[in-house]
Structure 1
Amino acid sequence: MKPQYWFRWLSVQGAPRLVLRTQAKRGDLFAELMGGPTGYIDPYPLIERLRGRGRLIRTPISWASFDHELCRAILRDTRFGVLTPESFDVPGPVQKLAKYFPLPPNPVEPPSMLVIDPPEHTQMRKPVASAFTPRAIARLRDRVETVTEELLEALPSGGATDLVTAFSAQVPIAIISEMLGFPEKDKDLFLAWGDQMTPLLDVGISWRTHKRALKSMEVMNSYLDDHIARLRRTPGDDILSTLVSAGELDTYALKATASLLMGAGFETTVNLIGNGVVQLLSHPDQLDRLRTDPELWPNAVEEVLRFDSPVQTTARTALCDVEIGGEKLRRGDTIVLSLAGANRDPGVFADPGRFDVARSNAKDHLSFSSGIHVCLGASLARMEGVYALQALFDRFPDLQLDGTPRRRELFTLHGYERMPVRLGHRAAAPEPTTV
């Protein structure tokens, strides 16, 4: 492993890891929430205890907010920028070494639009946005339905399976692969890379996890070099071919964009579908309501996004001295914004700890962020979630958990890595509607 990777881990992950664990041992609830202890912990009891301390709280690690109004305001406020590795107090020599030996293109380093501000962010986002217009998403609907039905047909009627690997991960990876022009045979590669690289979105991951992520990053970088070169010779009708042909982004930026779309177009939807299955099986009265009134399915997906947020948190850095939420922040101060906390704010959502598929304002959640960094693929994720969940429960009406699902031990992304289920009998596929 290259020495600069170890220095990068030490500055961006190792030092915060030590601080988090030390603070958690001292009883700091926020450090515990962010992953101070090992293993999965239920974040929601900690969130509610921290919420009681105020709308904007100062912790030994950073500022934090669990307030819906304040989180939304900060996400939309141009006085705050995205959090990048450079936002940390990294020693000068380490910063110089990291810049001299850059990481391969990836979703959590510039020029990924996830971690850059205007004007660079605008330049990166604009050419990609056309692939996620309402008209573009509508064109994908038939393909989402076809992929979902093929996967459901392949599940063993009356048998058992791991629903994450056999279904919830397969729907979004098939769609984003097609959008980026990847061969279908390579889907398993993307699943493995996604699983190994997503921990980079957390703070304080172990050296072993970091090293595994960077190895995957290197392999994916080589793959994307070959793929982009192939698209330059024979472009298709996919989004990456369009970006290559436009010539607005260099190869490094193209690879950063592709890796971001792979991650964002995959991980959030996997968690959305998996979380939705568990919540509906845990609340059979709500599932019965959907069977009685299937027009509630889109709202049910919004409630899943609100109640059990696939993305739990994001962060911003003050770009100047600013007063907000009754507190004075200095330039460079970091604020962790709990999207999960905002989504259960009792000032916005009545009885927020109740899962209600008919909740009238469920769509007011912040699970896709807000402001200029709002998720480009939100409409696609919603559409995939609605069709996948409705079709799954229609085709397997007796679906039941077959053991305890295992959560991923991550702070930022909230979902399941394993979900054993007993499928029960397979109902007939619905007849296609005629107009």
Structure 2
Amino acid sequence: MSPRYWLRWLLEQGTPRYALRFQARRGDPFAQLVGSTSGLYDPYPHIEELRGRGRLYKGPVGWATADYELTRAALRDSRFGIFGAHNVQLPGPLTKLIRAAELPPNPVEPPSMLVIDPPEHTRLRKSVSAAFTPRAIGRLRERIESVTAELLHALPEDGSADLIEDYAAQVPIAIIAEMLGFPQESRRQFLAWGDAASPLLDFGIAWRTWREAATAMINMDGYLDEHIARLRREPGDDILSSLVIAGDLDDRELKATASLLMGAGFETTVNLIGNGVVQLLAHPEQLARLRTEPELWPQTVEEVLRFDAPVQSTARTALCDTELGGVTLHKGSVVVLSLAGANRDPKMFENPDRFDITRSNAKDHLTFSSGIHTCLGASLARMEAGYALRSLFDRFPELALSGTPERRPLYTLHGYARLPVNLGRRATATV
């Protein structure tokens, strides 16, 4: 890869990486939170230390909050805009160096709707919103059921499995690939690209990790060029075909939107399913209750989303001089919002560190964000995860861990890389 890409990494990721490491050694709770992402990483002690520093913490690397009220307020306030590496203010010559190493359209840079503000965000979100209405999502239920049944049938009876690779990742990738018109044989490749690119949501990532992510984005860009050209010749009954036919988006916007929908379409859900399995196995009394009170499954999904959020954090920047929690923030100030911390705020959730599938206000969590950037696919993720979890435990009632689950070495996306289990006997189950 060209040296100019290394320079870009150094400016956007390398310098923050070294600063975070230095501040973590000095005991800064925010630096420790985002900098310790090994496969056995538990972020919650660091989040509670951050909470203990006050509702809005000003550390050497910026502002941060784990407060529910402040997090929700910032997410819903038009005076705060999206923050990402792309809008860090750098001197002109350094900005030119970054532009010289431009990446293809991807989920974490404009024109991806994930990282842009109105009016561009409004236009792009409107272009795909029809595919995620309650009616549209409801029509997918039958396909979700059939995909889940096929995957459960393929799991070995009385055998071992990695529930991430063999099940949790396969349910959402099958659905979102079909929604975007991608052929079945491309699913494994998209999983690999998504796994490589997901660290781009973090900051301070290593050069090798960034290089692998950039390479994945470049390879995916070539695939999308061919796929979009094919849809122009032979459009199908899918989201991307409808966008191509409408002609409202240019090629760069089409590819940014496609890559975002593909990544978001399975990243949150695979983590949600994996986290749900681990929590239910760790709380067998609550799993037993679900077997006798299956009507609690929707609430269980909400509690998993709250208790062990698949998306842990986001960031906002003040678009003007403003106030948050009684603190004056000047234009350009950046606030990191700990969604996972907000979800365990004791002022909002009683006994927040207790996993409780009967929690009445679990659905008030902020895992799917709030305001104009609320996750478009939240209803789809809930449906996929709820059906996948219930079907799994109904089909394999003796399911048990066979080793230590391995966390993904990420900060923003929070889930498991490996989830080894013994499946036990297979039961005939219907949902």
- TM-score in same-fold range (> 0.5): yes
In the alignment, what sits opposite 1:166? Answer: 166
1:339/1:369 contact within 8 Å kept: yes
Distance 2:401 2:271 in 1: 16
Matched residues, number = 431
In the alignment, what sits opposite 2:267? Answer: 267
Deviations 1:43-80 (A, max 9, x none): 11111121122111101111011011110010000000
1:300/1:358 contact within 8 Å kept: yes
Query: Displacement, 1:25?
Result: 1.1
Query: Displacement, 1:91?
Result: 3.5
Distance 2:38 2:174 in 1: 33
Deviations 1:363-399 (A, max 9, x none): 0000000000000000000000100000000000000
In the alignment, what sits opposite 2:365? Answer: 365
SS at match of 2:158: coil
Distance 2:38 2:306 in 1: 26
Deviations 1:210-246 (A, max 9, x none): 0011111111000000000000000000000000000
Query: Displacement, 1:101?
Result: 4.2
Query: Displacement, 1:102?
Result: 2.2
2:47/2:341 contact within 8 Å kept: yes
In the alignment, what sits opposite 1:29? Answer: 29
Q: How does 1:10-25 map to 2 (within 5 A)?
A: 10-25=10-25
Query: Displacement, 1:4?
Result: 3.1
Deviations 1:314-355 (A, max 9, x none): 000000111110111111010000000000010111100110
For structure 2, the 5+ residue unaligned runs are none
Paired amino acid for 1:341: G
Distance 1:46 1:374 in 2: 26
Query: Displacement, 1:175?
Result: 0.3
Query: Displacement, 1:429?
Result: 3.5
Q: How does 1:16-165 map to 2 (within 5 A)?
A: 16-35=16-35, 40-165=40-165
Deviations 1:122-141 (A, max 9, x none): 11110111110000000000
Structure 1 residues 115 and 177: CA distance shift in structure 2, 3 A: same
Distance 1:37 1:295 in 2: 36
Query: Displacement, 1:38?
Result: 5.5
SS at match of 1:355: coil
Distance 1:282 1:36 in 2: 24
The answer to whether 1:315 aligns with 2:315 is yes
Query: Displacement, 1:40?
Result: 4.3
Paired amino acid for 1:43: P
Structure 1 residues 38 and 94: CA distance shift in structure 2, 3 A: farther
Q: How does 1:326-345 map to 2 (within 5 A)?
A: 326-345=326-345
Distance 1:57 1:335 in 2: 9
In the alignment, what sits opposite 2:424? Answer: 424
Deviations 1:283-339 (A, max 9, x none): 001101111100000000000000000000000000011111011111101000000
Deviations 1:262-299 (A, max 9, x none): 11111000000000000000000110111110000000
Structure 1 residues 200 and 86: CA distance shift in structure 2, 3 A: closer
1:174/1:184 contact within 8 Å kept: yes
Deviations 1:148-195 (A, max 9, x none): 000000000100010100000000000000000000011110110011
Paired amino acid for 1:62: G
SS at match of 1:320: coil
Q: How does 1:118-267 map to 2 (within 5 A)?
A: 118-267=118-267
Q: How does 1:378-397 map to 2 (within 5 A)?
A: 378-397=378-397
Distance 2:143 2:160 in 1: 26
For structure 1, the 5+ residue unaligned runs are none
In the alignment, what sits opposite 1:406? Answer: 406
Deviations 1:195-222 (A, max 9, x none): 1000000001100000011111111000
1:20/1:36 contact within 8 Å kept: no
In the alignment, what sits opposite 1:292? Answer: 292
1:107/1:257 contact within 8 Å kept: yes
Query: Displacement, 1:6?
Result: 1.5
Paired amino acid for 2:133: T
Query: Displacement, 1:27?
Result: 1.3
Identity of aligned residues (%): 68
SS at match of 1:421: strand
Distance 1:37 1:69 in 2: 27
Distance 1:244 1:73 in 2: 36
SS at match of 2:45: helix
SS at match of 2:417: strand
In the alignment, what sits opposite 1:356? Answer: 356
Query: Displacement, 1:39?
Result: 5.5
Distance 1:104 1:94 in 2: 19
Structure 1 residues 39 and 269: CA distance shift in structure 2, 3 A: closer
Distance 2:9 2:174 in 1: 32
Query: Displacement, 1:36?
Result: 5.1
1:21/1:36 contact within 8 Å kept: no
Paired amino acid for 1:111: P
Distance 1:222 1:94 in 2: 28
Structure 1 residues 270 and 23: CA distance shift in structure 2, 3 A: same
1:157/1:425 contact within 8 Å kept: yes
